[in-house]
Amino acid sequence: MASFKLLVGLGNPGTEYDNTRHNAGAQYIKALAQQSQCLLRYEKKFSGEFGKVSIGGKECFLLIPTTYMNLSGSAVQALCQFYKVLPQEILVIHDELDLPPGTAKLKVGGGHGGHNGLKDIISKLGNNRDFGRLRIGIGHPGHASKVAGYVLTKAPSTEFLKIEHAIDESLRYTDDIVAGNLNNVMNTLHSFKA
């Protein structure tokens, strides 16, 4: 398994979207940057907040696209072209409707499952789906018609705390994830439930 060079946290820009369910991926990157004492700065050429960090002795790029969710791919594409990052060296951290709050799962490849951020990244990478995904569970509102409003609102405090716990738990495995030791991580992270 290849190691990861670029960690992308998905979300929507603007204070009105802070701590909404759809911003779980961005929340992870902000927490990782803080933990690594890395200052994320807006980088125009990457259309996002960007930073460089050393994880397990390996230089990694952190990115939170500041485009809206459904245009996340253009930020990822720009950074990949500039730094010659391959799709299999990318880990995208995003909210996942199909997992309950308080859980997180790791996988490589697959479809977009209706997630507009993933859909745009797959498209901008030339339909390549070989990147890694860290999926932060946010739960499902119960009906497809309610999804848009659900992901763009803040979770009630009990749910929000569970999402935060799942992010914190995932952060504990960042060194192993970046190094490509995914099986070890999956064995423990996948059984975690806040």
Q: Provide the whole-model pTM.
A: 0.97
Residue 194 lies in a domain: no
CA distance 188 to 66: 32
Q: What is the 3-state secondary structure (H, E, C) of 107-131?
A: EECCCCCCCHHHHHHHHHCCCCCCC
Closest among 182, 184, 194 to 136, alpha carbons compared: 194
Residue 118 has pLDDT above 60, yes or no: yes
* 115 part of the active site: no
- Whether residue 47 is contained in a domain is answered as yes
Residue 1 belongs to some domain of the structure:
no
DSSP class of residue 36?
A: T
Whole domain around residue 33: which residue ranges? 6-189
Three-class SS state of 103: coil
Within a domain: residue 131? yes
| Res 2: pLDDT | 67
> What pLDDT band is residue 131 in, cutting at 50, 70 and 90?
very high
Average pLDDT rounded to a whole number, residues 134-159: 95
Q: Which residues are annotated as a binding site for tRNA?
A: 17, 68, 70, 116
Provide mean pLDDT across the span 93-115. 95
In SS3 terms, 13-29 reads as CCHHHCCEHHHHHHHHH
Which pLDDT score, from 0 to 100, does residue 99 have? Answer: 97
Q: Which residues contact 104 (CB under 8 A, 6 or more apart)?
A: 134, 135, 136, 137, 166, 167, 169, 170, 189, 192
- For the chain, how many structural domains are there in total? 1
CATH number at residue 24: 3.40.50.1470
* 2's tokens: 């290849």
pLDDT at 1: 56
Chain mean pLDDT for the chain = 95
**Encoded tokens for 4:** 């990861």
List the catalytic residue out of 22, 140, 143, 165: 22
Assigned domain for 184 exists: yes
**Is there a contact between 121 and 73 (Cβ–Cβ < 8 Å)?**
yes
Give the mean pLDDT of 36-43: 96
Integer Cα distance of 141 and 54 in angstroms = 38
pLDDT at 193 over 70: yes
